[in-house]
Structure 1
């Protein structure tokens, strides 16, 4: 336990016999040691098509760039690394929370890192409550058409860049006037300034980015 630990949940919908699936998951879990320069790995089957894993290592490691080229059908949820017994247990809880987001979201990537989805994890696990938040805060900005989606993404990036149009334009590769136009359109859809109620609006946008259309209001 005198190490840093990162917990993983590995699973797949592969229809091969369970023994074959678990063998593949275990093999991939053990390969994480080589990819991360970790010291050792502990694996534990948690079902017919799921494995829990912990990698022991020194210091902080980044896991978002895990190699999935050879394991495209495998899914991985990663907890934040932590030290000792407490970090071992906390990282596992975070990996399970990240898995819940990955399973419920639409179009999620093969790797879900807890630190990338911790805000929706902490908001609530009730998709009905998240759907209500999205509908209440985003109003017309919660549409599914491509134009509304582009406007909504622009607002999210605008918040990420401290509400600065120039920085938002640079991040999106757009002209600053285009960003301002989209923000004007967003305000019409919201019925208020994008700078009003920033926190709940940004939380709604983060929830929508993490879970996808499953949290959009029906109709």
Structure 2
């Protein structure tokens, strides 16, 4: 890297090199690893141009920006998919900004990547007001300037910091100005297209139902082309980014249609939720209404590149909302798990309930389990054995069968686990202990480490 690039005023995109090697000083926090949600191509290009440490710093900074925006502009949230979209836009925007500032190329890099553009279109389809989107941009800009100032402060003598920061601030101001303009143009174009579509009209009815507002059932059924009076099983389907043979939307709709056929649904409603996610409702009866996931797991092959979370069966318009909210909780718990392509709300409802406040849940686990909550494969093994043993009403035989180990092994592990428990837990009842073990098991499966 030979320096930073800054746009010359009024020159139509010409860049000049300014002094400063501070990008080399950017270092991530080792205690806060961030998972990339941008496209593989964009991530690879950024690593080549910036370096792995700088990219990790950018991802951490972008995730902090997303958290800040969610706190101050909660309209950006509402579901795991919505949060992922916001993170993707923030990560792509920060990476593009750093590449712009670090590149020695004479041609400017596009101010909005395809990830950021698609995120902006999603914001428009969800009806987030443009002023709130632009407020998010301003919040991100302020946080990014602050982060860069900390890097300069850590590596530059006090009397030289202002000189180093001035071109950085000028470039970032230009970048965010162009970024905001392009985003506003894209938003308005998508909003106008969306407002005139049948898809938007159907989504508006669904939004009313999910908000718990009263709707005219006959009118809603006609617009949705779906019978609201039936028993519903809701599903949230999303792409796992491992399959590239077909576009995400095509894979998701195909998977939802396959689920409808397997459940012998009399009616099916599929609504696009985000770029990589759809919501579905299946009107079901009989055995399929009582045990839909059991039927799907036994009759439906796992779809390639698609994962799904199902809510509990529930009747009527309120049942559509109830089942959907359950499916969203199942998706939250399954979002980082690779154990199965299908997550059932009935399997995770306790863990979903007690991890809704993730920080409080983590305190609870640490206080109840004490040393048994520590990291390590051996301790995970002890926790899981104790969890199954308690779940099986302290039956050594049944626990051994479930875990595929000898009864003596169960006895040894349970005894060792109980020795690690704090005295109050060991002396008290098993309810808190069982709940803490269920939370720990959910985290160990990768289902809710961050809540």
| TM norm structure 2 | 0.44
Distance 1:198 1:116 in 2: 20
Distance 2:251 2:433 in 1: 42
> Contact 1:154–1:182 at 8 Å: present in 2 too?
yes
1:1-219 matched pairs, under 5 angstroms? 1-14=228-241, 20-59=247-286, 60-64=290-294, 65=297, 67-69=300-302, 71-103=303-335, 105-192=336-423, 196-212=428-444
Shift of 1:25: 0.8
Give the direction of change, closer, same or farther, for the CA distance of 1:42–1:90 in structure 2 (3 Å limit): same
Q: Which has the larger radius of gyration?
A: 2
> Contact 1:183–1:194 at 8 Å: present in 2 too?
no
Shift of 1:147: 1.8
* CA shift digits 1:146-196 (9 cap, x unpaired): 221221111011111112223322332333322221111011111447573
Q: Structure 1: where are the runs of 5+ without partners?
A: none
Distance 2:365 2:330 in 1: 20
Distance 1:47 1:160 in 2: 38
Give the direction of change, closer, same or farther, for the CA distance of 1:107–1:198 in structure 2 (3 Å limit): farther
Shift of 1:128: 1.5
Higher strand proportion? 1
Higher helix proportion? 2
Higher relative contact order (CA closer than 8 Å, sequence separation 6+): 1
| TM norm structure 1 | 0.86
Q: What's the secondary structure of 1:186's corresponding residue?
A: helix
* CA shift digits 1:121-167 (9 cap, x unpaired): 21142222221111111112123322212211110111111122233
Query: Aligned pair count?
Result: 213
Shift of 1:32: 1.1
Distance 1:165 1:16 in 2: 42
Shift of 1:4: 1.3
Q: What's the secondary structure of 2:312's corresponding residue?
A: coil
Shift of 1:111: 1.2
> Contact 1:106–1:212 at 8 Å: present in 2 too?
no
> Contact 2:369–2:422 at 8 Å: present in 1 too?
no
Q: Structure 2: where are the runs of 5+ without partners?
A: 1-227
Alignment RMSD, CA only? 2.5
Give the direction of change, closer, same or farther, for the CA distance of 1:137–1:213 in structure 2 (3 Å limit): farther
Shift of 1:102: 1.5
